[in-house]
Amino acid sequence: MNSASVNILGVAVITLLVGAAVLLTMVRYELGPKSRLARGGQWLLATALGTGILAFALKLVIMLAIVNFPETLVEPLIRKAIVERPVAVADPLYGMTSPQRFVWQPLPMVTESISTGSHATTNNSTYVWEALPEQAPSPKNNPVTPEKVALGERLFFDKKLSRDGTLSCSTCHDVIGGSGDDGRARSIGIDGQQGGRNAPTVWNTAFQSVLFWDGRAVSLEEQAKGPLVNPTEMGMVSLTAVEERIRKDTTYQQAFAQAFGVEQPITIQRIVEAIAAYERTLITPDTPYDRFVRGDLDALSPEQLQGMALFQSLGCVSCHFGPNFSGASLFDPRAPMRIFPIYPTPYEQQYELTHDSGAAGGGGGRGSWRVPSLRNVALTGPWFHNGSVTDLAEAVRVMSSVQLGRTGRYLVWADTNKVFTQLDRPELDEHEVNDIVAFLHALSSDKLVQRIQLSKAQAGVAFANN
Ligand code: HEC
Ligand code: HEC
């Protein structure tokens, strides 16, 4: 029994005892003698009045119980009632419209803006949610053409781009089976070497302003040169060696001529331009979230909607904002890099979060990292730059603690005015974590989910046939 219910019971028992004592005294020495009631009559009167007192005590108990109920008991009831209520509204501008569905979200939590960033979304109430465009932008000096895309696709899948012919880009970025990564904590490159970081998905990288976990490449063209000569990835001795190998393959000559014009030599720059053009077609605007934002109000479940509201009110949007859910996107590239982890927590040791401090290492391993897109994040585990977290709910717990400081109560020292201010940042409860996870699933592409299911089913069939 918790302390709240002990308090309630205590008040009830005391009210009852005091009430009964007063009543019995009144009936025995005042009302009884005055109205000349016999003993039986006095008991009857006491019982009648006693029922009243009992009812009063009961009311008191109910009132106190409601006030003291743990939020977790009452809140889901309120949530359900609010989220699932379709409302017909009269449109003030256009008169009575056909019954329209409005979705009312109770504000799950009020957060004051904290000093985790400078982005203009600190005023949560005006955050505008946006869908992903149906096409990715391409730079002026490398316009996307069908010929270039076809060539880039071929290169992306060509193992000739690795020193010993064992690896292609698609080895670590599986776009056929679905998620655009390799499903490993850290990638396995040439000669079976394990790299230091988790392979991010290539889906929607076309919308990112900086690439790699530490943001060290500013374009897909520049990025593609990295893995080719990385000794733990494709292991080519030099970019010139890549160029020579592709030149030697006569079947590539026609494809390059179609993509870049005859007489244009095959160069490493054209190789990466073709790969980048192909990558700009790897986008996923087909998610429940995008359908919801485009006007299909049934596209999200009540849990996903609740999670979406929490994602905003907790402040996840201060870093994962815009159509690609990243401060490092071409839509608004003002805040691409963030310190991670910001707040010291036990998660730091548990998941070795400071082991690698990314770009521009800060003090104590608190380095600076590119804010990743969260599109398809439910399909791309394990999570974080070192792939150390294998459960999405745990990734959400980690994020809310290390980036938003949702770990409990604090006294925060403000050095400018020399005062402590109390800050209440309770940990997320399981309900909230699950709602956010549900919302993250709404960022998964329908097409990719289908492909993954299909490839799993095929793997099942292959297994059964063996
Ligand atoms: C051995 C596995 C492996 C191979 C092969 C590989 N990659 Fe990667 N890729 C990775 C890893 C690991 C990272 C993250 C590295 C980092 O951030 O330091 C990455 C990062 C990327 C990114 C950046 C994604 C983002 O969100 O920032 C893109 C784009 C990409 N790779 C495309 C390619 C292309 C194109 C090729 C072929 C030329 C390729 N990769 C080959 C493992 C691989
Ligand atoms: C202060 C900026 C910031 C805030 C606030 C923030 N994130 Fe992040 N998030 C990041 C950075 C930076 C990373 C990359 C961390 C790394 O290096 O592994 C990241 C990574 C993630 C990942 C793992 C992505 C992957 O592909 O492995 C998830 C999931 C995530 N964030 C969800 C959330 C959620 C949910 C919230 C709100 C509770 C949130 N984030 C709040 C900056 C932030």
pLDDT by residue (tens digit) across 442-463?
Answer: 999 999 999 999 988 888 877 6
pLDDT at position 4 is 55
For 189-212, write each residue's pLDDT tens digit: 999 999 999 999 999 999 999 999
| Active site (annotated) includes residue 134 | no
Ligand 1, atom 43, residue with closest C-alpha: 172
Type of residue at 350 = Q
What value does the mean pLDDT take over residues 166-171?
98
Supply φ then ψ for residue 314, to 5 degrees: -75, -25
Q: What is the 3-state secondary structure (H, E, C) of 201-238?
A: CCCCHHHECCECCCCCECCHHHHHHHHHHCCCCCCCCC
Tokens (6 digits) for 116: 């985790």
- Cα 229 from chain centre: 33
Ligand closest in space to the Cα of 197: 1
pLDDT at position 14 is 85
- Report residues whose beta carbon is within 6 angstroms of any ligand 1 atom: 161, 167, 169, 171-173, 187, 189, 195, 197, 199-200, 202, 205, 208, 211-213, 220, 223-224, 227-228, 233-234, 275
Q: How far apart are CA 283 and CA 443, in angstroms?
A: 12
Ligand 1, atom 36, residue with closest C-alpha: 169
If you search the block for the tokens 């940042």, which residue do you land on? 425
Q: How far apart are CA 210 and CA 337, in angstroms?
A: 9
The β-bridge relationship of strands 337-340 and 408-414 is unpaired
Q: Which of the residues 153, 221, 233, 348 is marked catalytic?
A: 233
Hey, which CATH number is domain 120-132+285-465, 1.10.390.10, 1.10.760.10, 1.10.3720.10, 3.30.360.10?
A: 1.10.760.10
Confidence of residue 238 (pLDDT cuts 50, 70, 90): very high
Does residue 333 or residue 279 have the better pLDDT? 279
Q: How far apart are CA 289 and CA 375, in angstroms?
A: 10
pLDDT at position 425 is 85
Could you tell me what percentage of the chain is helix, strand and coil, using 3-state DSSP and rounding each to the nearest 5? 50, 10, 45
Is residue 351 over pLDDT 70?
A: yes
Burial class (CB in 10 A: 0-12, 13-18, 19+), 311: buried
Helix residue ranges, H only, 369-445: 392-402, 430-441
- Cα 199 from chain centre: 18
Residue 464: which residues within 8 A CB-CB, separation 6 or more?
Answer: none
Nearest in space to 305 (alpha carbons), one of 382, 120, 182, 296:
296
What value does the mean pLDDT take over residues 73-83?
44
Does residue 47 or residue 92 have the better pLDDT? 47
Burial class (CB in 10 A: 0-12, 13-18, 19+), 96: exposed
Is residue 122 over pLDDT 50?
A: no
How far is ligand 2, taken at its centre, from the CA of residue 372, in Å?
7
Ligand 1, atom 9, residue with closest C-alpha: 199
Confidence (pTM) = 0.78
Percent with pLDDT over 90 in the chain: 60
Strand, helix or coil for residue 421: strand
Q: Which atom of ligand 2 is nearest to the CA of 342?
A: 1
The yes/no answer on whether domain 146-279 falls in CATH 1.10.760.10 is yes
Is residue 74 over pLDDT 70?
A: no
Angstrom distances, CA of residue 460 to CA of 180, 447, 457, 465, 466: 21, 20, 5, 9, 10
Is residue 67 over pLDDT 70?
A: no
For 411-426, write each residue's pLDDT tens digit: 777 788 888 877 778 9
How far is ligand 2, taken at its centre, from the CA of residue 465, in Å?
42
395 within 8 A of 386, measured Cβ to Cβ: no
Q: How far apart are CA 211 and CA 232, in angstroms?
A: 18
Q: What is the 3-state secondary structure (H, E, C) of 374-392?
A: CCCHHHCCCECCCCCECCH
For 371-383, write each residue's pLDDT tens digit: 999 999 999 999 9
Q: How far apart are CA 404 and CA 426, in angstroms?
A: 11
Confidence of residue 1 (pLDDT cuts 50, 70, 90): low
How many residues make up the chain in this entry? 466
Nearest in space to 108 (alpha carbons), one of 297, 311, 300, 304:
311
148 within 8 A of 259, measured Cβ to Cβ: yes
What value does the mean pLDDT take over residues 273-295?
98
Residue 324: which residues within 8 A CB-CB, separation 6 or more?
Answer: 132, 204, 207, 208, 331, 373, 375
Angstrom distances, CA of residue 218 to CA of 181, 231, 328, 356: 20, 21, 10, 21
pLDDT at position 176 is 93
E strands, 4-103, where? Answer: 90-91, 95-96
pLDDT at position 108 is 43
Confidence of residue 29 (pLDDT cuts 50, 70, 90): confident
